Amino acid sequence: MTTPILAARDAGFAYRGTAPVLHGVSVEITAGRSVALVGESGAGKTTLLRLLLGLARPTSGEIRFDGDPLRLGDREQLRRLRRSVQCVFQDPYSSLDPRQQVGRIVAEPLRSLRLATSAAEGPQVAAALAAVGLPEDAAGRYPHEFSGGQRQRIAIARATVCRPRLLLADEPVSALDVTTRVRIIDLLTELKETMGLTIAMVSHDLSVVAALCEHTAVLEHGQVVEQGDSPAVLGSPGHPYTRRLVASVPRLPKRPPR
């Protein structure tokens, strides 16, 4: 069997002085198989994403990266994690530094991970911007000069400029209007195919999940109550909570993503 890029093994988490947010969560993200983490607000989706990103340590269980336990004190392992796994956040209006030009924003992973010389940085930034449908001259402009959808494209360019294996996306289209959502989903689908990118997405929008992800894990109150192939989970849910989520969506795509 293929070793997952990232996996949570019976992971639990509690913020200091509070009740546990996650309870024994087990989820695998394997190369080439995109995963959705779904559930209502407060289900623990974003907390799980933070554990997978190495931004917090589980209070029980473990996170594994390429089969090895993720050790937050291991700088070399964390550097490999950052090289392999990048993230796109929910709000394109707050995830980009308004004081920096787009070119510098997109080049940030190349610089922090020391992946490109000064001479190579410009062409790599231009290629990343072109891949998300933005012109080369966007590099010399500032975030406030772009629409919300264009800003999210900039965030995706920043996340993919270092050619990661896995893109973690936290509600990447929820702050956008309906038309722009479709365009961003189409872009992520294209990048998934052209770059061989694996995507793990946090979402409460099952229509987005059905369009983009092959595997779905459903969280309720910090526990995975159901998971499996997206067509099965969304088309014939077995858990009452999943059935309620599916019933709340007017219409889901009938065919799974390819």
Spell out the per-residue pLDDT of the chain, length 258, in tens. 689 999 999 999 998 878 899 999 999 999 988 999 999 888 999 899 999 999 999 999 999 999 999 999 999 999 999 999 999 988 888 889 999 999 999 999 999 998 888 778 889 999 999 999 998 899 999 999 999 999 999 999 999 999 999 999 998 888 788 888 889 999 999 999 999 999 999 988 888 888 889 999 999 999 999 999 999 999 999 999 999 999 887 665 554 444
- 134: helix, strand or coil: coil
pLDDT at 257: 47
pLDDT at 255: 47
Burial class, 80, CB count within 10 angstroms (exposed 0-12 / middle 13-18 / buried 19+): middle
Calpha distance 227→37 (Å, rounded): 9
Burial class, 59, CB count within 10 angstroms (exposed 0-12 / middle 13-18 / buried 19+): middle
Report yes or no: 167 and 86 within 8 Å, Cβ to Cβ: yes
Calpha distance 45→29 (Å, rounded): 14
pLDDT at 167: 96
- What superfamily would CATH give domain 6-94+165-247? P-loop containing nucleotide triphosphate hydrolases (3.40.50.300)
- Burial profile 165-203: b = 16 or more Cβ within 10 angstroms, e = fewer: bbbbbbbbbebbeeebbeebbebbbebbeeeebbbbbbb
Partnered with residue 101 across adjacent β-strands are none
pLDDT at 91: 83
pLDDT at 256: 46
For 123, the enclosing helix (H) or strand (E) is: helix 118-131
pLDDT at 1: 67
Partnered with residue 201 across adjacent β-strands are 36, 169
